């Protein structure tokens, strides 16, 4: 299998539900009430429950994993631009922007809901040929 090169891109998406958020909280142990408690969340600046930021970032990881080759995360900068709410579909795109030498590449990462950016950043990953 080839490796990722400049210009390659991949996408992934997830439909966010209250059940998705609850499951993420259970798996990670992040039980912040802004994610889990409707009454509490209604009194915050967001006015309702929101998904964990890293739940949305996980969709970015899924997009990266869809690039050619085996992709291994080295680092990720994320800027959380807007909340993700139950009922949203998060669509992530990973676009290879730069070859850094060896197997390292820099990838632009963007996650959006209805065309509005909710997370953006840059990742550095290894892209190596898949060895069966």
Give percent above pLDDT 70 in the chain. Answer: 99
- Domain-located, residue 39: no
Q: What is the pLDDT of residue 1?
A: 58
Q: Where does the pLDDT of residue 26 fall: very low under 50, low under 70, confident under 90, or very high at 90 and above? A: very high
CATH at residue 109: 3.10.129.10
Q: What does the block give as tokens for 126?
A: 């290894």
Its domain, for residue 115, covers 9-15+52-128
Mean pLDDT value of segment 4-32: 97
Question: What global pTM score does this model have?
Answer: 0.92
- Domain-located, residue 114: yes
- Domain-located, residue 37: no
Mean pLDDT value of segment 21-33: 97
Q: For 45-101, write each residue's pLDDT tens digit.
A: 999 999 999 999 999 999 999 999 999 999 999 999 999 999 999 999 999 999 999
Q: How many CB atoms lie within 10 A of CB 107?
A: 27
- Structural domain count of the chain: 1
């Amino acid at each position: 299998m080839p490796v990722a090169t400049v210009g390659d891109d991949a996408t992934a998406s997830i439909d966010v539900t209250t059940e998705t958020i609850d499951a993420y909280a259970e798996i990670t142990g992040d039980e912040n009430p802004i994610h889990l408690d409707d009454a509490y969340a209604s009194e915050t600046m967001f006015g309702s429950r929101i998904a964990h930021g890293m739940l949305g970032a996980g969709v970015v990881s899924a997009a990266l994993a869809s690039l050619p080759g085996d992709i291994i995360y080295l680092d990720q900068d994320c800027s959380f631009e807007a909340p993700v709410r139950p009922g949203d579909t998060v669509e992530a795109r990973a676009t290879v922007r730069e070859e850094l030498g060896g197997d390292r590449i820099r990838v632009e990462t963007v996650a959006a809901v209805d065309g509005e950016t909710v997370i953006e950043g840059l990742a550095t990953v290894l892209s190596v040929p898949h060895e069966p």
